[in-house]
Structure formats: structure tokens, C-alpha cells
A and B are shown apart, each in its own frame.
Chain A
């Protein structure tokens, strides 16, 4: 199986007031095969999971997650972030077969 990861989908506000706490919703398309399932011939299906998500805000890490096989297909995760300055949120997912996908979102922060 080839390493297939992404695309990712983000739900991030385009603008926020300075100091406002905004919700960040993320999802990446990925089979996230747990490694505990068997195919219809009874052979184990090899594990292929997303192992990490890192989010940076203008280059500074603001959230990271380590994922284990008990996360669903198309891993979905949400968290909050305090909007302090206009800039870019960058997201990076990695899987256990070297697959990487990235996404970014610009946020406009007004006083």
C-alpha cells in the first residue's frame, strides 16, 4: 500500500479580535489502519496510522498531538487558541510510513 495522507480540512476563523479565544478544528483524510484488523482471508492488515499533528502560530508551536491506533479513520481534532496577532497557522501531520501533509490558514487579528 502506498503512503497516502491528506488532504487536510481546517475550520479556523478568518478574523478575530486581539485576545479572543478561537476554536480550531482539524481533520486529515487518512485510512488510519489500526493494525489490529484482518482482511477477508484472515491476514492481518498492516498498521498505517497518523502519528503526529503539530500546529504553529507564526512559527511558534501552540499545539501538538501524538496519535495512537485508537484514533479514527480521518483523524479529527479540535482545540482552542488565543488570537494575539495577525499571521499564519501552520498544521503538519505525519504518519508512520513517512507520509506528510500540511495545511495553513491566515488569521487577521484586529484590536
Chain B
């Protein structure tokens, strides 16, 4: 029955030592899932690169995500994780034949891996978008562009966060 126990509830204080706890919890969760158990998982304070991998697979399936054609601009150092300006530009002529269909921004270690999804088309003329986002901690941010032919291009940028957004 031990495997069926829900994960312990966490709060912001776990940010500092989530690595250790998380592995054990994850193992237990996976075992429970493997046993076909149905239970409620309390969300951990921070996601892990594994959560990002799951989100990417859910969004894009098994399609290959290549590096290139995408530029992600973020401050190298964010003193305030609550407001981080982000700009994504994609090399694309934005014609009816060749355009960017969508731009996705993902986080490696925010509580949730998805940040923003934007749908574009040839009528936009330029595949450049910007937004202001929250960063829970120092991490890598990933931008993925989906072209009209279905190909996926990406850029990843490291950002240091001095003061976390209040997650």
C-alpha cells in the first residue's frame, strides 16, 4: 500500500532542496502508476526537465525538434523573475508557401513547463513575437517554432534569476 500514498504536499521552501526529495517521490509515483493505481498527485513546487520532456511529447508527438532558425532573446540575468521580457524571432519568409504556424515557449523548471503558445500565419509578415513572462528560478528557456510543413525548430537560452517569481 505504501506505493499508493499520495506525494507529500510541498510549498515554496522546497525550492531549495527539491532535487533529493523529488527523485524519491518520482520513483514512488512511477511505481504507483505502473501498478495501475489511480490517485491524486500533489504538484511539486517546481517542474523538472522530465516534465518538460512530457510536455514536448504531448505537444509535438515524436516529431524531431531541430536547433536553429529560431532566436530567443531573454536577459542573461533577471533580477526579478516576476517580469522577464522575452522575444522570439523565427527566420521565415512568412509567405503562403512557407510560414510559421506556431511559436511555443517552454520552461525547464517553472511549476508548469508551458508558458505561452502563439498561432501565426502568412498574414503576420514577420515571425517575431514578444511577451513578459515569469521565471521561478535559474533555468533554461526553450522556444519552439512549428512551420507550415510541420517541421519544428528551436532555441534554448539559459537565464539566471536572482529573485524568483513568487511561485
| Interface 1/0 per residue, B116-131 and A, CB below 8 Å | 1111110111111111
Query: What is the minimal beta-carbon distance from A89 to any residue of chain B, in angstroms?
Result: 12
7 contacts between A and B (CB under 8 A): A34-B166, A62-B121, A62-B124, A63-B119, A64-B118, A75-B131, A82-B124
A62 nearest CB neighbor, chain B only: B123
- Given known A-B contacts A63-B124, A77-B131, A68 and B114 have beta carbons under 8 A apart: yes
Q: How far is the CA of A29 from the CA of B132 in the complex (A)?
A: 13
B130–A67 touching, CB < 8 Å: no
19 additional A-B residue pairs with CB within 8 Å, beyond A62-B121, A70-B112: A34-B167, A62-B124, A63-B119, A66-B118, A69-B134, A70-B110, A70-B114, A70-B115, A70-B116, A71-B131, A71-B133, A72-B134, A75-B131, A77-B118, A77-B129, A78-B131, A79-B118, A80-B127, A82-B123
**B134 CB contacts on chain A under 8 angstroms:** 34, 69-72
From A65, A72, A73, B117 is in contact (CB under 8 Å) with A65
**Total residue contacts A-B, CB cutoff 8 A:** 95
**B167 CB contacts on chain A under 8 angstroms:** 34, 36-37
Q: How far is the CA of A68 from the CA of B107 in the complex (A)?
A: 11
**B110 CB contacts on chain A under 8 angstroms:** 70
Within 62-111 of A, Cβ neighbours of B (below 8 Å) are at 62-73, 75-82, 84
A36–B166 touching, CB < 8 Å: yes
Considering only CB atoms and an 8 Å cut-off, how many residues of chain A contact the other chain? 29
Q: Which residues on A are within 8 Å of B, measured CB to CB? A: 21, 34, 36-38, 42, 57, 60, 62-73, 75-82, 84
From B119, B125, B133, A70 is in contact (CB under 8 Å) with B133
**A76 CB contacts on chain B under 8 angstroms:** 131-132
**A42 CB contacts on chain B under 8 angstroms:** 11
B115–A71 touching, CB < 8 Å: yes
Interface centre among A37, A65, A84 (most CB of B within 10 A): A65
